[in-house]
Amino acid sequence: MRQRRLGAQGPVVSALGLGCMGMSTSYGVPDDVESLRTLDRAVELGVTLLDTADAYGRGANEEFLGRWLGGQPAAVRDGLVVSTKFGLRHDAATGRVNAVDTSAAWVRAACHASLRRLGTDRIDLYYMHRRDPAVPIEETVGALAELVAEGSVRHLGLSEVSPQTLRRAHAVHPISAVQLEHSLFTRDVLAGDMLATCRELGIGVVAYSPLGRGMLTGALTSLDDLTADDARRRWPRFADENLAHNLALVRAVRAVAESLGCTPAQAVLAWLLAQGEDIVPIPGTKRRAYLEENAAAADLVLSPEQADRIRAAVPDGAVAGERYPLAALARLGH
C-alpha cells in the first residue's frame, strides 16, 4: 500500500485507511468474527490508519478495536496509527447524541476513557469530533496540547470545523489532520475555503464516508437492503423521495467504472486519491472482500480525463437530500 503524510508534521499512513465504526454500530448487524478477520487482513494489505470514536456505540467500537489491538504483537501496534475522537455526548435514556462537550475537563476525561477502552498507552491521532461554539477553541486545543506533552496523544486533529476555527486551533498547537465528509456525493471540500486553508497551513485531509455511506458501491438497490435498525434509514439521502434519484447517479458511476475495468467503489476512491497527495480516504467496512476491493483502488492511477469522467457522472448539485439529519447538520462547521 502506498503511503501519505497527514500534515507537514503529522504521521505517515497508508493512502487508504479503514473506518471501523460499522464493525460495532449503525450499519446493520455486527459480525465480530468477520470484523476481526478484516482487521487482520488490513494489516496484511498494509493499511495502517484505523479510525474509531468514543461516540461509536458509546464506546463499544473502541472496546472492540482494543480487544483486537491487545492480541497484536508490539511490532504490529507500533506500525499502526490508531485514531479516535471525543466531544459528542449521549442521552442516557435514548442513546442518541444530545450534546457536544469540548471543555478542557472533558478533553482529559474523554481521552483517558478512550485509552482504557482501546487498551493502549497512547492515541496516535486524537480528533475533536464536533465543536461546542460556546467553548473557545483555544481552551480545547490547549487541553489537547497538554495530553501531547504528557505522551497520551501523539498528533491532533479536528473534524467538521470552519476554516477560521482551524486557523485559531493551529496557532495554539499544530493540527495534523482535519476529518471531513468528502466523496463524489459530497464535494463541499473542493468548493469552499477549507481545502485551501488546510494546504496553506500544511494540514492533511482525512475523507470519511468516501463511498457515500455505502451508496456509491452500487451494492444498495433499495431500502429493503438495509436492516430495520440501520442508521441510514434516518438520513435524507436514503429517504424514499431521494433514494431512487441518487441510485440513478450511482448507475452512471458504475457505467464509467466498467469502462475503466474497475468497480464503482474503486473508481470513486481513486478519484478521491487523485484530488491530492494530502487526502486520505477512510472507507469503512466489516468485510474482508470489501476491504480488499477498496484497497485495490490505491493502485488505480487515473488520467485527468478519466477523473473528469468520474466526476461528470455526478454533476455538481445533483445529489438529492442533505448529508445528515437537521440536528446533526447543526453541529457542523463551527
User: Is 252 part of a structural domain of the chain?
Assistant: no
Q: So what's the pLDDT on residue 189?
A: 86
Mean pLDDT within 139-160: 98
φ and ψ at 210, to 5 degrees?
-70, -10
CATH at residue 10 = 3.20.20.100
3 state DSSP class of 26: coil
**Rounded Cα–Cα distance for residues 139 and 235 (Å):** 33
How many independent structural domains does the chain possess? 1
User: Kind and range of the H or E element at 5?
Assistant: strand 3-5
Length of the chain, in residues: 334
User: What sign does the CA torsion over 309, 250, 287, 86 have?
Assistant: positive
User: Is 254 part of a structural domain of the chain?
Assistant: no
pLDDT digits (tens, 9 = 90+) for 216-246: 999 999 999 999 989 999 999 999 889 999 9
Instruction: Specify the amino acid at residue 141.
Output: V
Residue ranges of alpha helices (H) inside the chain are 32-45, 60-70, 74-78, 104-118, 137-150, 163-172, 188-191, 194-201, 240-260, 264-273, 288-295, 304-312, 326-329
What is the DSSP annotation of 58-121? TTHHHHHHHHHHHTS-HHHHHT-EEEEEE-EEE-TTT-SEEEE---HHHHHHHHHHHHHHHT-S
3 state DSSP class of 123: strand
Q: So what's the pLDDT on residue 192?
A: 83
Q: Is the pLDDT of residue 320 over 90?
A: yes
Q: What is the dihedral of CA 253, 256, 258, 264, to 10 degrees?
A: -30
Percent over 70 (pLDDT), the chain: 100
**Rounded Cα–Cα distance for residues 156 and 148 (Å):** 8
Q: So what's the pLDDT on residue 94?
A: 72
- CB atoms near residue 119 (< 10 Å): 16
Provide the annotated active-site residues: 56
DSSP state of 186: -
User: Is 248 part of a structural domain of the chain?
Assistant: no
User: Could you give the maximum distance between any two Cα atoms of the chain, in Å?
Assistant: 54
Residue 178, beta-bridge partner list: 158, 205
pLDDT digits (tens, 9 = 90+) for 265-274: 999 999 999 9
Residue whose cell numbers read 498507552: 121
User: Is 95 part of a structural domain of the chain?
Assistant: yes
Q: Which three cell numbers stand for residue 149?
A: 506533552
**Rounded Cα–Cα distance for residues 43 and 30 (Å):** 20
> Rounded to an integer, what is the distance from CA 12 to the centroid of its chain?
17
User: Is 127 part of a structural domain of the chain?
Assistant: yes
User: Is 185 part of a structural domain of the chain?
Assistant: yes
Decide: 145 and 173 in contact? Cβ < 8 Å: yes
Q: Is the pLDDT of residue 290 over 90?
A: yes
pLDDT digits (tens, 9 = 90+) for 158-215: 999 999 999 999 999 999 999 999 999 999 888 889 999 999 999 999 999 999 999 9
The closest alpha carbon to 18, from 268, 208, 215, 289, belongs to 208
Decide: 166 and 158 in contact? Cβ < 8 Å: yes
Q: Which three cell numbers stand for residue 272?
A: 478521491
User: Is 310 part of a structural domain of the chain?
Assistant: no
Look up the domain containing 104 and give its range: 3-211+275-300
Task: Tell me the C-alpha to C-alpha distance, in Å, between residue 37 and each of 32, 86, 158.
Answer: 9, 27, 30
User: Is 266 part of a structural domain of the chain?
Assistant: no
pTM: 0.96
